[in-house]
Amino acid sequence: MTALTVPYADGTLADVGTSLLAALGVPDEVDRFGLAATARACVFLVDGLGWLQLQRHADVAPFLASMSGRPIPAGFPATTVASLSSLGTGLPSGEHGLTGYTSYLEEVDAVMNWLAWKSVGAGEDLRDRIVPEVVQPRPTVWERAAAAGVTTTICTFDNFAGSGLTRAALRGGRWGGTLAEGDAVARAVEASSMGFRSLVYVYVSALDLVGHMRGPDTEAWREQLAVVDRLAERLSAGLPAETTLVVTADHGMVHVPDDAKVDADAVPQLRDGVVALAGEPRARYVHCIAGAAADVAAAWRSVLGEQWWVGSRDEAIGAGLFGPTVSGAAARRIGDVVAVSLGSAGVVERRRLPRLASMPGQHGSVTDEELLVPLLVSRRDG
């Protein structure tokens, strides 16, 4: 079986927030990236901006290309739910427990979309039954900053206020809801001047949307990257003097052509013995009826071939996909069988989830295109 590599020892997205806390002087926090001490910090998270994509298209992102930086792993799976939770908690997915785009939850007998905090298909709001603060009870980076006297502001879209993912991973500090990406920059600049010490989180998502719907590396994607570059430049110029700006992302993206998509709704071998299919097209969690996991894994290997890693839950955990520690709750959400795409393919559900199946841009797996995100750092002189 092909070995999987998700390095956690040398610093990942989960270490960005804790490193900034240490730079801000918050006790008992560890700086994994050697950041200089600062009184003000701003994290600009660009959804869908992979390190390798940025390197290929540096010509349309001259400001970002000029910043000092290096690639870091987002962690597995390389997807928004897991990555934002890692940034917000300082923990890999095996510890914070939000292990993918969707998870099958035995307690509600449904596949749950963590972004929406709703059941897939029925669309039931599960915040009262699957309480976000219980799912992820550890103090967030933002709560730890606020408790240490750092004025903390979360600048993300207004319609995310009170969402399950916000409550799980972004709770703490002042809510600085935004209307659009330009507004996000203005709100972040304003918030960065508050208090004697400040930490601001600002999030933009349009690059991810364009990548999903048009494809990464397309001309539409390049144009949106140019917009992101201008936003980053405007943000940097507006921040107070001696503020540390960190630009990072939650995942990269790959192009999955239609002929590389395997439709689980049309291949009976991928459904035999399966209770539920979760995760996303390039990182699948397969929940099996009792005693069927070995047969299911064999069937998936036979159908998918050598461009996939297919293993048991224990093999996936043992490979270190989810970090050095995996909680019991996280393990249950991983599934009995795990299938990870190593090439350009994805397992889709054209009948159940046609919109997701149609997208040319996908992510979630361990390829460098998806896994590596930028850690770019700048600091304005006083």
C-alpha 4/C-alpha 119 separation (Å) is: 30
pLDDT digit string (tens) for 35-75?
Answer: 999 999 999 999 999 999 999 999 999 999 999 999 999 99
Residues of the chain scoring pLDDT < 50: none
pLDDT at 168: 98
pLDDT digit string (tens) for 78-107?
Answer: 999 999 999 999 999 999 999 999 999 999
C-alpha 342/C-alpha 364 separation (Å) is: 11
Strand partners, 283: 280, 340
C-alpha 204/C-alpha 212 separation (Å) is: 15
Strand partners, 249: 46
- Paired sense of beta strands 151-155 and 198-204, if any: parallel
Q: What top-level class would CATH report for the domain 14-98+113-254+366-379?
A: alpha beta
Sign (positive/negative) of CA torsion 205, 215, 235, 146? positive
- Provide the residue type at 317 as one letter: I
Q: What is the CATH number of domain 258-362?
A: 3.30.1360.180
Residues in the chain: 382
C-alpha 264/C-alpha 238 separation (Å) is: 49
State residue 237 phi and psi, 5-degree precision. Answer: -65, -30
Q: What angle do CA 59, 87, 328 make, to 5 degrees?
A: 135
C-alpha 264/C-alpha 273 separation (Å) is: 13
C-alpha 368/C-alpha 125 separation (Å) is: 35
pLDDT at 47: 98
pLDDT at 362: 98
Cβ neighbors of 303 (< 8 A, separation 6 or more) are 262, 267, 269, 270
Cβ neighbors of 184 (< 8 A, separation 6 or more) are 155, 156, 178, 202, 203, 204, 231
Cβ neighbors of 276 (< 8 A, separation 6 or more) are 104, 111, 287
For the beta carbon of residue 135, count every other beta carbon within 10 angstroms: 24
- Provide the residue type at 262 as one letter: V
Residue boundaries of the structural domains of the chain: 14-98+113-254+366-379, 258-362
